[in-house]
Amino acid sequence: MTEVTGGFGGDAPAAAAPVPPPVLETRGLTRHFRIGGMRGRTLHAVDAVDLRLDEREIVALVGESGSGKSTVARLLAMVYQPTSGTILFRGRPLAELRSRREVLSYRGQVPMVFQDPFSSLNPAHTIDYVMTRGLKLHQPALGRGEREAEAERVLETVGLVPARQTLAKYPHEMSGGQRQRVSFAQALSYRPKLILADEPVSMLDVSIRVGLLNLMARLRDEEGVSLLYITHDIASARYVSDRVVVMYAGHIVESGPSEEVLHGPVHPYTQLLLSAVPDPRVPISITSAEIAEPPRVIEPGQGCRFRSRCPLAVEMCAQVTPQLRTSSPGHQAACHVTVPQEPGS
């Protein structure tokens, strides 16, 4: 598992120490859905996505509804099988996981936290039951006392103190923010490498949200966990993440270090997304009420999927699908106009 599988870029420093493989990596990850019965059309939810999450890293996957971001999360959580492409967990393809035990072990190491804290916890059971059940499944070696200690440890880590009292509670006795902390505690009790968090704060009140975002940063810094933070809120993505990956209509259109992407967005879609964020501190920048919604990608042809909304679109955008190209070190965007392809590359 510690074997080096990197080196695809070919531009790594020559004498570097062996680099551990990324915690999770996808190559050409694609998922299509058949829709429309008789006519048998295909919805391209996710197309050729290359994603990488390193150790102790928070990557924000940002996009509007229909961008494919939640489909990516479900592919990584093994809820869906990819149509094509591979997912590598610490260098090993997920397709090689055959036995139930291996799949279970993967799910424990890469747990998911869901959006809705009101439906993701069973209302009929106490938090103690919820935590114990997860631990029995994913940490079967622990005895009863150890399970209890572990449950208390993770509840304290997420700030639900006193932990002993929290364990006795039912979900309805807790606020939305507290329930979402329980979800993180549960994920944490499996000793995960990576937590998939699908819009974990979007249903919470504004005054509660930032506490959860701070918790995510603390899990990375103190527990050494990586997080994939899936969100439509680019401001919170900036606040908590190390890198930002922007998806549009099933494609990654831009990725790079958060501050760099947010201060110097290269793709016109990222620029649009940023200009739409309501912020009382800056003057309004979108002033037209144009129809502005992402397309459903059914049987797409060649070409950039953003071109119909793009102020910069040129003829080439309708003919050739732009590939991700490096605009500055670590920062990539897929746009014919803002990151032109170098001749011969």
Partner 1 sequence: MADAILDVRDLSVDYLTRGRPAKAVEEVSLELRPGEFLGIVGESGCGKSTLLFAIAQLLSPPAQITGGEVIFKGANMVQLGEKALRAIRWRDYSVVMQSAMNALNPVKTIGAQFADAMRAHQKISKAAVLERSREVFALVGIDAVHLRSFPHQLSGGMRQRAMIAMALLFSPDLIVMDEPTSALDVVAQRALMVQIKELQRELGFAIIFVTHDMSLVSHFSDRLAVMYAGRFAELGPTQEVFASPMHPYTIGLFDAFPSVHGPKVHIGGIPGAPPDLAALPGGCSFAPRCPKAMAACTGREPEFYQVAERRVRCFLHGPEGGSDD
| Phi, psi for residue 229 in degrees, rounded to 5 | -100, 110
Containing 197, the helix (H) or strand (E) segment is strand 194-198
Strand 194-198 with 226-231, pairing: parallel
The answer for residues whose C-beta is within 8 angstroms of residue 173's C-beta and 6 or more apart is none
Query: Per-residue string for binding with partner 1, 184-213, x by CB under 8 A?
Result: ---------------------xxxxxxx-x
| Member of 149, 259, 320, 329 binding partner 1 (CB under 8 A) | 259
CB of 122 to partner 1, least distance (A): 22
Determine which residue in the list 12, 79, 286, 298 makes contact with partner 1, applying CB under 8 A.
286
The one segment of 1-9, 95-103, 107-115, 275-283 that binds partner 1 by CB under 8 A: 275-283
Residues with Cβ within 8 Å of residue 238, at least 6 apart in sequence? 60, 244, 258, 259, 262
Is residue 288 part of the contact set for partner 1 (CB under 8 A)? yes
Spatial distance between the Cα atoms of 36 and 21, rounded to a whole number of angstroms? 41
Question: Contact, 42 vs 101, CB < 8 A?
Answer: no
Which lies closer to partner 1 via its Cβ, residue 150 or residue 254?
254
- Nearest by Cα to 95 from 23, 29, 3: 29
Given candidates 77, 78, 104, 276, which one binds partner 1 under the rule CB under 8 A?
276
39 binds partner 1 per the rule CB under 8 A: no
Residue in the structure block whose two tokens are 């590359």? 345
Among 132, 236, 332, 338, binds partner 1 (CB under 8 A): 236
Contact segment (CB under 8 A) with partner 1 among 2-10, 129-137, 181-189, 271-279 equals 271-279
- Closest CB to partner 1 among 190 and 306? 306
Residue 320 found at the interface with partner 1 (CB under 8 A): no
Q: Which of 9, 140, 278, 343 binds partner 1 (CB under 8 A)?
A: 278
Between the CA of residue 24 and those of 150, 192, 193, 259, what are the distances in Å? Answer: 26, 12, 9, 22
- Chain contacts with partner 1 (rule: CB under 8 A): 64-65, 175-178, 205-211, 213-214, 232-236, 238-239, 259, 262, 272-274, 276-284, 286-294
